[in-house]
Amino acid sequence: MEVILLADVFNLGYKDDIVNVKPGYANNYLIPKGLAILATEANKKILEENKKQALFKQNKIRAAAEYLAEKLRGVELTIPMLVSKEGKIYGSVTPLQISNLLKEQGFDIDRKKIEIKEDIKILGEYVAIIHLHKEVQVELKFKVVEKSND
């Protein structure tokens, strides 16, 4: 019996897969639990249309992420920090600081999408990676400078 899976089923398949199972397994477990529906011609057409719409939506989201990545490639940030006499900074540079500085420049990037790979302890130039989409990421250069005592 052919069924269309509505969710991932361990050792059987993934969501939207069309699989063959024994009628008892389908009628007594998969369909009553809402894990599958019968693979009729109408349901197959609906599945194909849903896949097309999902693909279109994913492509649209990816294109928006690529556009934002292009705009971010030219941006350089300067982060003022308090510095000790030895040249070490007090505190640390966090993704939240970078997110707030980007927001001031008109980019609304969630701090959870910003990754700083190294521990920043001294003044200098660093790189943060911004994950805009599972396939799109951009490197953002930033400088850590001494905060002036105003």
Largest CA distance in the chain: 78
User: Where are the alpha helices (H) located in 2-129, listed in sequence order?
Assistant: 23-25, 41-72, 95-104
Domains and CATH numbers, the chain: 2-69 (3.40.5.10), 76-146 (3.10.430.100)
> Rounded to an integer, what distance in angstroms lies between the CA atom of residue 94 and that of residue 92?
6
Q: For the segment 36-89, what is each residue's pLDDT rounded down to a tens digit?
A: 999 999 999 999 999 999 999 999 999 999 999 999 988 889 999 888 888 788
pLDDT above 70 (res 101): yes
pLDDT of residue 53: 94
pLDDT above 70 (res 117): yes
Name the more confident of 26 and 92. Answer: 26
Tell me the whole-structure pTM to 2 decimals: 0.67
Mean pLDDT calculated for residue range 14-41: 94
